Amino acid sequence: MTDWGQPFSRETLRLPVVLSAGSLTTMAGGAIAPVLPDLMQDLNIDLAWGGTLASFHCLTLALFSPLLGLLADKIGPSRVLFPAMTFYGIFGVIGAWMPNFWSLLLVRGLLGIACGGLAASCLGVLGRLYEGEARTRMLGFATAVLTLTGIIYPLLGGLVGNSHWQYAFYLNGLAFPLAFLGIYAFDSQSPAAKSSQSQGLGGKLTQELSRLPTARLLLTMGLSSIAMYAVVIYAPIYLDQALGLTPKLNGLVLAARAIGAALISAFGAKPLAKLMGLNRSTALGFGVMAATLAPIPWITNLGGVLIAAAIFGLGFGLVLPNLYNALANISPFELRASILAVGTGISFLGQFASPVVLGVVLNIWGLASVFYAASILTIAAGLLLFAPLPQPDS
């Protein structure tokens, strides 16, 4: 029988700490998305530039997560975790006090670097602790946790930001107590990679990333992220203009998107992948996303928007764990944190590119066309997976 202290042992706390820390990357964009229209109005930010604020942290995350992934492989992922959480809390909170677009953009970029450390360290820990089907289950569970927090954070952001948009930024301060829990959970006992394994990792990583199966998965991740983030950035703006929704209701819509994703990630992704195959089940998810993106401009009531958002989440909940699992399957153990971090970086690079690419569509054809373009991108991403990926060299 376990003793009273067992539930609070270091080993028991490690997984909750890692999953909670990983969810902060969702908070970085999700918590401010519902208040984005109010923020833009208060700081006199143009519509085309406003979306960049919600996604700029994705660019710096994409640029720094591979480097921080290599660091995690060399010194141990848990040793990257604490400073990443600390800097996340600092740069996340001070965003509320920035007086203009450029100062806020700078802080969002620094927040993205901290998110890169979180992504690299959390994926690295999970990649080292679990193998085979256990890793498949855990990645599905981790995706479910991310999507559940994707429900909670927009709701909280919309709720606290309903009084003033600045309050949504204070939610990032949750990283501070979590950082102290991380110190206790991992202490100094987390093993670092051996120096003999650390030598030449950069060259090996470049070689692995140049392989066609890896490159194709990374491209698919990027395209899916461009399309997915169209909902996060442009749905609140569209709903504010078309339906006059408040930040609280915008948060509800973003939360509905995550409900379906959480359910399918936790309970449906693995069975469907086993039944249909990894590529076909992922392509099915892309098809569901495309089918729910295109009708958004035609929906004229809140109930219809909530249903479409939830079904979109079902598709996304199939895509995300399958892509990460496929990437982990073809990654050497000693480079797994680095390659998964690159995958995360590509995903967030796609999120950054979303308002850049779709902003061109917005300026030329209008807001409704953004959702049509995002639907086409999801179809293109799914088509990449219809042909089986070449088997990695043994």
Model confidence pLDDT, tens digit, residues 20-69: 888 898 888 888 888 888 888 898 888 767 778 878 888 898 888 888 87
Does position 355 have pLDDT exceeding 80, yes or no? yes
Q: What is the CATH number assigned to the segment(s) 10-383?
A: 1.20.1250.20
* Sequence-ordered list of residues with C-beta below 8 angstroms from that of 258, at least 6 positions apart, any chain: 147, 148, 149, 150, 151, 154, 313
Determine if residue 100 is left, alpha or beta; phi over 0 gives left, psi from -120 to 50 gives alpha, anything else beta: beta
Dump pLDDT digits (tens) for 69-84. 788 777 877 788 889 9
Of the candidates 168, 102, 130, which has an alpha carbon nearest to the alpha carbon of residue 321?
A: 130
Confidence of residue 205 (pLDDT cuts 50, 70, 90): confident
pLDDT digits (tens, 9 = 90+) for 214-229: 888 999 999 998 988 8
Q: How far is CA 222 from CA 31, 94, 159, 320, 340, in A?
A: 22, 29, 31, 11, 13
Phi and psi at residue 283, in whole multiples of 5°? -60, -35
Give the pLDDT band of residue 85 (cuts 50, 70, 90): very high
Alpha-carbon span 168 to 161, nearest angstrom: 5
H/E segment holding residue 372: helix 367-383
The answer to whether 92 and 111 are in contact (CB under 8 A) is: yes
Which stretch of 64-68, 246-250, 260-264 has the lowest confidence by average pLDDT? Answer: 260-264
User: Whose structure tokens read 């970029």?
Assistant: 109
DSSP label at 210? T
Average pLDDT score, the chain: 81
Q: Report whether 138 contacts 16 (CB < 8 A).
A: no
Element (H or E) spanning 322, and its range? Answer: helix 302-329
Question: Is it the case that residue 258 has pLDDT exceeding 90?
Answer: no
Q: What is the residue extent of each domain of the chain? A: 10-383
> Where residue 191 falls among pLDDT bands split at 50, 70, 90?
very low
Residue 379: pLDDT band with limits 50, 70, 90: very high
